[in-house]
Chains A and B, each alone.
Chain A
Amino acid sequence: MKWDYFYSRRLHSLLGVIPLGVFLIMHMLSNFRAFEGGPEGFQRQVEAIHNLPLLLFLEIFGIWLPLVYHGVYGLFIAFQARHNVNRYGYFRNQMFLWQRITGVITIVFVAWHTAHTRLQVALGNITVDELGQQMHAIVTNPIYYILYIIGIVAATFHFANGMWAFLVSWGITVGPRAQRVSSYIWMGVFVIMSVLFILAITAFANTEFAGITG
């Protein structure tokens, strides 16, 4: 099959929302259990996820493959642009640049984050019941904690600003007023999601999480 520019770009755009955007929100909500319910609440949430039917299938088609496509093709897009914010410092041009910067940060962060969570489970180094403990060990290291916050903020920005662009690229927000209102809404979403994620990650630093082995 001939490599089709149009469909590959549209697929990239769609996958960023479904399933990746949906996954990010789910991930945020389940992490928030750590803040809301402490180690026990988080533990129940982890178990609920692990009791989902066809879990590996959902992971592969709902997360891994879309992530690899969106990430790899996204890097290709990001490095093709000829950035000119220094000359044309308009708001949307800055957002255009940040969308690409945060995309690169996010992909590095996701790879790193997966390496010491999901990959460790897959390798058998930790069990799913020890994930809370694992996160506690990571975020009590101040450097890791800061890197996590940078990664989280980058990911939520990339998602929220990406949603703004998605609505334009699919022809949903057409006029300048619609696009302006959309900007406000998605920047609001960015702030709210960042706060919720940071509350969750900070909750893991609580000593309650240190001893949970399940």
Chain B
Amino acid sequence: MAVAQTEQKTIRLIVTRQDSPDSQPYEEEFEIPYRPNMNVISAFMEIQRNPVNAKGEKTTPVCWEANCLEEVCGACSMVINGKARQACTALIDKLEQPIRIEPMRTFPVVRDLIVDRSRMFEALKKVKAWIPIDGTYDLGPGPRMAESKRQIAYELSRCMTCGVCLEVCPNVSENNNFIGPAAISQVRLFNMHPTGEMNKEERLDALMGDGGIEGCGNSQNCVQACPKGIPLTTSIAEMNKEVTKHMFRKWLNT
């Protein structure tokens, strides 16, 4: 390291670690050299290069997940100083020290900060968050989408399934199967699409199913926490409206 050893600035991190899915979590403190413009990921890289904790003992490097490093993939979500967010945009200069880092424990912890977000992908399958376009012949181009709709759809499409909204939701936990805000908002996105709309009843039925939209208790933490600023509570209320209409249609028409 090129930085002079005298009067060197350091960063203190307290990481909640867990060696395996079944083992007990424990805290480990690290003190690493400061460089300008660091984020939590580069701090972890520093620990990876020199896996020694604050007591000077050699330890295993901290495990984490990251891909894009520009807050669009959602892989590096974790709880930093008590708030669920992405590690890549958590700039060291803007964080209070010691920086406390924990995994998003709403999800099963795989190791250290790596969690298993399968629950979210299962939820997307449950609500059929896709648009079926395959046919036995060329179906031709789909209907056009109004610009006003497209603008809302664009906002909703920015969801990266990062898991922050589930982590902050008091109604998502291991003892229930609530699909969470992200999947509900995706139903809004796909039901808004002119081709996706053709299967909207199937998605509304899924929202009326077990673990569906009724799991929401309106704490509205999701909309406060969403790193992409997606209007999640508007999506939920909008889907509540659609589900209410769908419910009455089903009662009265069948």
The finding on whether chains A and B are genuine partners in a shared complex, rather than unrelated, reads yes
A residues with CB within 8 A of B? 5-6, 9-10, 77, 80-84, 87-88, 90, 92-93, 95-96, 164-165, 168-176, 179
**Known: A88-B224, A96-B217, A165-B218. Is A173-B173 also a contact (CB below 8 A)?**
no
- When distances are taken between beta carbons in the complex, the residues of chain A under 8 Å from B234 are 174-176
- When distances are taken between beta carbons in the complex, the residues of chain B under 8 Å from A172 are 241
- When distances are taken between beta carbons in the complex, the residues of chain A under 8 Å from B216 are 169
Are the C-beta atoms of B219 and A171 separated by less than 8 Å? no
Q: From residue 147 to 193 of chain B, which have CB atoms closer than 8 A to chain A?
A: 168, 170-173, 175-176
Q: Which of B83, B212, B224, B241 meets A5, CB within 8 Å?
A: B212
Closest to B238 in A: A174
- When distances are taken between beta carbons in the complex, the residues of chain A under 8 Å from B224 are 88, 90
- When distances are taken between beta carbons in the complex, the residues of chain B under 8 Å from A88 are 83, 168, 221, 224-225
Are the C-beta atoms of B220 and A87 separated by less than 8 Å? no
Mind listing 29 A-B residue pairs with CB under 8 Å? A5-B209, A9-B214, A81-B171, A82-B170, A82-B172, A82-B173, A88-B83, A88-B221, A88-B225, A90-B221, A92-B219, A92-B221, A93-B170, A93-B220, A93-B221, A96-B170, A96-B218, A165-B217, A168-B233, A168-B236, A168-B237, A169-B218, A169-B240, A170-B244, A174-B234, A174-B241, A176-B231, A176-B233, A179-B233
Q: Which of B170, B217, B240 meets A171, CB within 8 Å?
A: B240
Are the C-beta atoms of B218 and A92 separated by less than 8 Å? yes
Are the C-beta atoms of B217 and A179 separated by less than 8 Å? no
- When distances are taken between beta carbons in the complex, the residues of chain B under 8 Å from A96 are 170, 217-220
**Known: A88-B224, A174-B234. Is A81-B244 also a contact (CB below 8 A)?**
no
- When distances are taken between beta carbons in the complex, the residues of chain B under 8 Å from A175 are 234, 237
CA distance A142 to B83 in the complex (A): 44
- When distances are taken between beta carbons in the complex, the residues of chain B under 8 Å from A179 are 233, 237
CA distance A120 to B225 in the complex (A): 51
